[in-house]
Amino acid sequence: MKKQTRAEQRLSRAAEAKAAEKYVLRLYVTGTTPRSSQAILNVKKVCEECLEGRYDLEVIDIYQSPSLARDEQIVAAPTLIKHLPSPLRRLIGDLSSRERVLLGLDLKPRK
Distance CA 57, CA 40 (A): 10
Domain segments of the chain as ranges: 22-104
- Regarding pTM above 0.95, the answer is no
Q: Long-range pairs for 18-22 at CB < 8 Å and ≥24 separation?
A: 20/54, 21/54, 21/84, 21/85, 22/54, 22/55, 22/56, 22/84, 22/85
Q: Write the pLDDT tens digit of every residue in 16-26.
A: 555 678 999 99
Fold classification of 22-104 (topology level) = Glutaredoxin (3.40.30)
Residue 9 has a pLDDT of 61
Residue 91 has pLDDT above 60, yes or no: yes
Residue 109's pLDDT is what? 78
* Cβ–Cβ < 8 Å for 47, 104: no
Average pLDDT over residues 49-61: 96
Rounded distance between C-alpha atoms, residue 52 and residue 64, angstroms:
28
Cα separation, 100 vs 111, in Å, equals: 13
